[in-house]
Amino acid sequence: MIWTLLMRDLGSRLRDRSALVLAVIAPIALVTVLSLLMGGPDTKKIPVGFAPDSASTVSKALQDGPLQQLTDDDVIALTMYADRAEITKAIDKGTVDAGIAVDGDSVDVIKGGGIVAGAIAEAVARSTAAAVDGVTTAVAADRMRGGKADPETLAKAVLAAKPALDLGDATPVGVLDTKAQLAAGMATLFLFFAVQFGVLGLLEERRSGTLPRLLAAPLAPWKILASKVLTSLVLGLISMTLLISYSSLALGAHWGNWVGVSVLTVSGVLAAVATVTLVAGVAKSSEQAAAIQGMLAMGLAILGGSFFSVARSGGIAAILSRITPHYWYGEGLARLAEGGTLTAIRTPVLVLLAFALVVGVPGLMLAKRTVRA
For the segment 266-325, give every residue that binds another protein (CB under 8 A).
284, 287-288, 290-291, 294-295, 298-299, 302-303, 307-314, 317
- Residue 327 · residue 302 · CB < 8 Å: no
Within a 10 A sphere around the Cβ of 4, how many other Cβ atoms? 11
CB contact burial 97-130 (16+ within 10 A = b; e otherwise): bbbbbbbeeebbbbebebeebbebbbebbeebbe
- Residue 296 · residue 192 · CB < 8 Å: yes
Rounded CA separation 160/183 (Å): 49
Nearer to another protein, 245 or 285 (CB): 285
Does residue 122 belong to the site contacting another protein (CB under 8 A)?
yes
Q: Could you tell me the CA-to-CA distances from 150 to 53, 60, 137, 187 in Å, in that order?
A: 23, 18, 13, 67
Does residue 85 belong to the site contacting another protein (CB under 8 A)?
no
2, 14, 77, 158: residue in contact with another protein (rule CB under 8 A): 158
86, 142, 214, 241: residue in contact with another protein (rule CB under 8 A): 142
Q: Interaction with another protein in 215-274: which residues (CB under 8 A)?
A: none
54, 172, 343, 372: residue in contact with another protein (rule CB under 8 A): 172
Q: How far is the CB of 217 from another protein (least distance, A)?
A: 26
Rounded CA separation 88/106 (Å): 17
Q: How far is the CB of 135 from another protein (least distance, A)?
A: 8
Does residue 95 belong to the site contacting another protein (CB under 8 A)?
no
Region near another protein per CB under 8 A, out of 167-175, 223-231, 257-265, 267-275: 167-175
Nearer to another protein, 256 or 360 (CB): 256
Within a 10 A sphere around the Cβ of 43, how many other Cβ atoms? 5
Site string for another protein, 327-366 (x = CB under 8 A): ---xx--xx-xx----------------------------
Q: Interaction with another protein in 177-206: which residues (CB under 8 A)?
A: 181, 193, 197
How many residues interact with another protein (rule CB under 8 A)?
A: 119
Non-local CB neighbours of 322 within 8 Å, separated by 6+ positions:
311, 328
Non-local CB neighbours of 27 within 8 Å, separated by 6+ positions:
183, 186, 187, 189, 190, 239, 243
Does residue 71 belong to the site contacting another protein (CB under 8 A)?
no
Q: How far is the CB of 236 from another protein (least distance, A)?
A: 16
Cα-trace Rg, the chain:
31
Does residue 154 belong to the site contacting another protein (CB under 8 A)?
yes
Q: How far is the CB of 286 from another protein (least distance, A)?
A: 8
Region near another protein per CB under 8 A, out of 156-164, 225-233, 262-270, 355-363: 156-164
Q: Interaction with another protein in 9-38: which residues (CB under 8 A)?
A: 16-19, 21-22, 25-26, 29-30, 33-34, 36-37
Helix axes 201-208, 286-304, angle to 10 degrees: 170
